[in-house]
Structure 1
Amino acid sequence: MEFRLAGKKALVTGGTRGIGRAIVLGLARAGADVVTCHRQEGEAADLLARELKEIGGDHHVIKADVGRLDDIERLAEECRARFGSLDIVVNNAGVISHIPFAELPPQEWRRVLDANLTGTAFVVSASLPLLSAGASIVNVGSRVATVGVPLRAHYTASKAGLIGLTRSLAKELGPRGIRVNVVAPGPVETESEIPAPVRERYQNMIPLGRMGISEEVANVVLFMASDLSSFVSGETIHVDGGI
């Protein structure tokens, strides 16, 4: 299936690594112009910028932390100045940590919720004046939102909150022709090394017998961003191999 997004303007948060990187490259290859952001300077951001230049198009890699409201406002202003409007917003940026709930510091709860849930809400809010009729908002969630995982109560709560936020926004923004959906990955291979026992446990849990790859999640995000899913809104699409 070929996704044709020529002329579309997209914002992707957290786009320099893993799933976010695959989403940015997928959108660019489908013809969209993309603004993406990252929290830290480094080789990942530089490499993405070089790859986007090779693909061609009007792409920009910007430093911004969606856990900070002033950075979100600056990011939206960059999109306005460079594109004038947006057709696609992908909220991919997020953080995670593994801490027993009894030992979870309040500041870590706030850090994860601010990045994963509050940041998403504020990115949507800041983007609203730029969104065209027919625009698509895709929030990258997680399979854990509906099952729960030990040591990640704060992360799970943030991703579960995305589902409720998405359902409400789909109903509120639908009359403007704006669709809002969640794409929820299961276990996915990324740049981080996964210990062998953890990999084996995941593979035993997944009916397809393997972990996913970032591009498989990105393909679903592209579908949800495109006109091929023009009557899909308020949904959570799990990309988890049937776990």
Structure 2
Amino acid sequence: MDLGLHGRKALVTGGSRGIGRGIVTALAAAGVDVITCYQRESPAVESLRHELKETGGQHHVLLADLTRPEQVGELLDECRQRFGRLDLVVNNAGAISHVPYGELSIQDWNRVVDTNLTAAHLVIQGALPLLGPGSSVINIGSKSSEVGIPLRAHYTATKAALRGLTRSLAKEFGDREIRFNVLALGVIATDALDEMPADRRDALVQRYRGKTALGRLGTPAEVAGAVLFLASDLSRYVTGATIHVDGGIS
């Protein structure tokens, strides 16, 4: 199905691995020109560059630490210089840790808040001059913002805040025809899962299969499917929404 995305311009943060990579490659395959960023060098970065080159289109994989406001500014300058506009922004970059709340350090709190919330704010604010009528901003959220998860109070707080930010911006910029939505994800099987010790991985998979209506974990490609919908004109009357991509997890 042709979604009419060919030639559109996108920025996807945190696109070298996992969910972000699935989003980047799906957009590129749909004809979108994509700029994405990564925080540190890894074999995944070079393999993504190679994959995008094989796909075709104008794609750029750039180094940017989004916890540093000046690097967010530099990333958006690159978008301006290379594309001149943006039709889609996906705030996917994220950080997480598992810490008892009574032991949560201010350093860990700030790291997660800066990555998950403040960086999204800075990216959106900086992208506004590049966004025109019909453009779409997608914030990658989490089902945890509804249910809460022990040991992740800081992470859950940021994902809940993304919902409020998204809803407010949808109302503020509706007259400019810029749409803002959240994808609230369940448990998605990524390379991070593959890297776990086998016994821990198997236990996690079994645990969440039992909590999910579909009886399985999600995939980055399934998250990317929701992104393609929100990037396209099929969703032109969808804004301020939280769309669950969670397999019916409880």
Q: Which range, TM-score by smaller chain?
A: over 0.9
Q: Distance in 2 between matches of 1:87 and 1:207?
A: 34
**Who is 2:248 aligned against?**
242
Unaligned ranges ≥5, structure 2 = none
Three-state SS of the structure 2 residue aligned to 1:34 is strand
**RMSD (Å) for aligned C-alpha atoms:** 0.8
Q: Distance in 2 between matches of 1:233 and 1:43?
A: 37
Q: Distance in 2 between matches of 1:218 and 1:159?
A: 19
**Who is 2:3 aligned against?**
3
Following TM superposition, by how much is the alpha carbon of 1:76 offset from its aligned partner in structure 2, in angstroms? 0.3
Q: Distance in 2 between matches of 1:210 and 1:89?
A: 29
Alignment of 1:19-58 (within 5 A): 19-58=19-58
**Who is 1:230 aligned against?**
236
Q: Distance in 2 between matches of 1:29 and 1:190?
A: 20
Alignment of 1:53-64 (within 5 A): 53-64=53-64
Q: Distance in 2 between matches of 1:85 and 1:141?
A: 25
Q: Distance in 2 between matches of 1:4 and 1:191?
A: 30
Q: Distance in 1 between matches of 2:49 and 2:42?
A: 11
Matched residue type, 1:233 = T
The percent identity for this pair of structures is: 56
Following TM superposition, by how much is the alpha carbon of 1:3 offset from its aligned partner in structure 2, in angstroms? 2.7
Following TM superposition, by how much is the alpha carbon of 1:2 offset from its aligned partner in structure 2, in angstroms? 3.9
**Who is 1:219 aligned against?**
225
Q: Deviations over 1:126-156 (max 9, x none)?
A: 1001111110000000110111000000000
Q: Deviations over 1:55-90 (max 9, x none)?
A: 100000000011110110000000000000100000
For the pair 1:128 / 2:123, whether they are aligned, the reply is: no
Alignment of 1:117-196 (within 5 A): 117-193=117-193, 195=200, 196=202
Alignment of 1:48-127 (within 5 A): 48-127=48-127
Q: Distance in 1 between matches of 2:221 and 2:171?
A: 29
Q: Distance in 1 between matches of 2:239 and 2:4?
A: 20
TM-score by length of 2: 0.96
Q: Distance in 1 between matches of 2:6 and 2:240?
A: 25
Three-state SS of the structure 2 residue aligned to 1:156 is helix
Matched residue type, 1:202 = Y
**Who is 2:209 aligned against?**
203
Unaligned ranges ≥5, structure 1 = none
Q: Distance in 1 between matches of 2:212 and 2:244?
A: 13
